[in-house]
């Protein structure tokens, strides 16, 4: 088995043990007590009676969004399968509707709780033009800044032209006076 598969399976198994301890909801138990009880439970459940040695991996993974959503999806699928097992009575029209409704609810909940796309998918969407709204807003903002800058530039250019025109008019009038005096 590959390294990640080993880590994933063992941490999943430990998560189940830890969740079992959490669901007991014992008062006065610290987190460290719960971790040690979960480790003991893991060792009891393990086929080779080995202790859980990947606590450092669990500490990292338990806070990751991807890991949390995967755990939630697995729990929902487990609840759904438990509901189906409990309903072993003959099916009538209401029973099938309830099963379908439950399946739709779980599908909607998992759809709503999906995590945001990763960096690679975001970049790919941007390359394909998927980031349209933010892109268009930024483009509009830059265009309006450019237009304002161009108007200011045109205004200063016009002022310089008027000053140069005044100077030229004064020069021409001085030249006319000199010609009349001569």
Q: What is the dihedral of CA 117, 122, 128, 133, to 10 degrees?
A: 90
> pTM higher than 0.85 for the full model?
no
- Give the number of other Cβ atoms within 10 Å of residue 79's Cβ: 12
- pLDDT averaged per 10 residues, the chain (length 182): 80 85 85 88 86 87 79 78 66 50 60 73 77 76 94 94 94 91 80
């Amino acid at each position: 088995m590959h390294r990640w598969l080993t880590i994933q399976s063992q941490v999943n198994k430990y998560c189940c043990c830890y969740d079992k301890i959490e669901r007991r909801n014992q008062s006065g138990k610290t987190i460290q007590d719960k971790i040690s009880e979960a480790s003991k439970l893991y060792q009891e459940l393990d086929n080779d009676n080995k202790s859980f040695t990947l606590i450092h991996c669990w500490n990292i993974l338990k806070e990751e969004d991807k890991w949390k959503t995967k755990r939630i999806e697995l729990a929902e699928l487990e609840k759904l399968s438990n509901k189906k097992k409990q309903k072993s009575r003959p099916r009538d029209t209401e029973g099938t509707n309830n099963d379908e409704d439950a399946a739709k609810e779980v599908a909607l909940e998992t759809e709503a709780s999906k995590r945001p796309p990763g960096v690679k998918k975001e970049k790919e969407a941007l390359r394909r033009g998927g980031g349209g709204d933010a892109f268009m807003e930024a483009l509009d903002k830059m265009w309006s800044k450019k237009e304002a800058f161009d108007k200011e530039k045109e205004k200063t250019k016009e002022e310089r032209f008027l000053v140069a025109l005044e100077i030229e008019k004064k020069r021409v009038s001085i030249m006319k006076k000199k010609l009349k005096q001569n």
